[in-house]
Amino acid sequence: MTTETARTGAHARVATSLQLSGISYVLSRALLDGIDLELRAGELTAVSGPSGSGKTTLLSIAGGLVEPTTGTATFGDRPMWQGTGDPRPEVAFVLQVYGLVPILSARENVSVALRARGVGPREADERAEAALARFHISDLGDRQVEELSGGQMQRVACARGLVVGAGVLLADEPTSELDEGNRMLVLTELRAEAERGAVVVVATHDPAVVDLCDTHYVLDEGRLVDHVEEVHLTGRSRPVQLPRHAAPAEPAVPAEPEPEVLPEPPHPEHPGLHDEPHHEPLHEPLHEPLHESQHRAADEGPDDTDDTDDVNAAFRRPGP
């Protein structure tokens, strides 16, 4: 078992590793199967894996919230499971669902963790105020939890987890609601807890969080897999990008020949002319067009002789 001494102000703390030996947890199926881990004090440890891989269950057993089906979790030569589901006083959680009390203010949600450990109200409030300041939310101390955003609630949950100075700090997705700047702030404070000698374990989906941790373990379907390998987070294989010259060429598709345009047949009466589109008249013509001489005759008007037959004949006579 690994031990080391860490100092916080004038107080000395013996840092002890958290041991998981032969851990399995079975409900309708095995959620954890044969887990053996040493979670070392003074290190920031990441546990990653796809959703449903057993990360939250592992942290719950490691912190004494859940009794394993087989195996033991021990810290300082004592079992973490106390038979009640209540964690030991030296264990603190940052829960994925925050676990904040809606009717309390942000400050009260932090101070209640200290008061549950026997700290007086005034000291608890002062330490709670300082914990909120670590996460840049001291101005939110008097606000009700229901008035806070998701990211603000997550930082309140982090402040509550860190305020007690626990020997074991287990954080389940502590940065899932945070932007990049606040994510780095939270990781900096978690690192500070590890440097004072605590066991700090972070369950995460975020590769950026994994990169900033000292040790990395990967779960897949409840089993520990090689943490040296790249984390398989998406459930799909990483796409391989082929170099451009190696990409298979698309088969050339010959262009379809344009249809041959044939000349239109000549007009039957006037070679070289083409028929124009033919539009049917709305009504039949009353008579054939007048010849030029007939226009003159019509303009001059009829004389005294009865030439009706001649005019009618002229209407029927074709022009030149």
Q: What is the mean pLDDT of residues 205-214?
A: 94
Could you give the count of Cα atoms lying within 13 Å of 102 in the half-sphere of its Cβ? 2
pLDDT at 307: 47
Tokens of 229: 């390998």
Calpha distance 65→84 (Å, rounded): 8
pLDDT (0 to 100) of residue 16? 85
Mean pLDDT (whole number) for 289-318:
48
- Average pLDDT estimate for 255-269: 56
How many angstroms separate the CA atoms of 114 and 111, rounded? Answer: 5
* Per-residue model confidence (pLDDT) at position 96: 86
Q: Is the pLDDT of residue 297 over 70?
A: no
Give residue 2's pLDDT: 42
- pLDDT, tens digit (0-9, with 9 covering 90-100), for 116-133: 999 999 999 999 999 999
Structure confidence at residue 209 as a pLDDT band (50, 70, 90)? very high
Q: What is the CA radius of gyration of the chain?
A: 45
pLDDT band at 267 (very low <50, low <70, confident <90, very high): low
User: Is 285 or 129 the better-scoring residue by pLDDT?
Assistant: 129
Under the banding of pLDDT at 50, 70 and 90, the label for residue 239 is very low
> Does pLDDT of 136 surpass 90?
yes
Residue 280 clears pLDDT 90, i.e. is over it: no
Pick 263 or 19 by higher pLDDT.
19
Distance CA 111, CA 59 (A): 23
Side-chain half-sphere exposure of 230, counting CA atoms within 13 A: 6
Local structure of residue 105 (DSSP, 8 states): B
Helix 308-316 × helix 292-300 angle, to 10°: 160
Side-chain-side CA neighbours of 285 within 13 Å: the count stands at 5
**242/114 Cα distance (integer angstroms):** 57
Q: How many residues does the chain have?
A: 320
What pLDDT is recorded for position 226?
Answer: 75
Element (H, E) at 59: helix 55-62
- Give the residue-averaged pLDDT of 263-290: 50
Instruction: Say what the pTM is.
Output: 0.67
Please, which residues have CB within 8 angstroms of residue 263's CB and are 6 or more apart in sequence?
Answer: none
User: 148-206 pLDDT, tens per residue?
Assistant: 999 999 999 999 999 999 999 999 999 999 999 999 999 999 999 999 999 999 999 99
The per-residue pLDDT for 252 is 52
pLDDT tens per residue across span 75-112: 998 999 999 999 999 999 999 888 999 999 999 999 99
pLDDT per position as a tens digit, 28-80: 999 999 999 999 999 999 999 998 999 999 999 999 999 999 999 999 989 99
Structure confidence at residue 79 (pLDDT): 96
- DSSP per-residue letters across 7-25: EETTEEEEEE-EEEEEEEE
CA–CA separation, 100 and 188 (whole Å): 22
Quick one: pLDDT at residue 259? 59
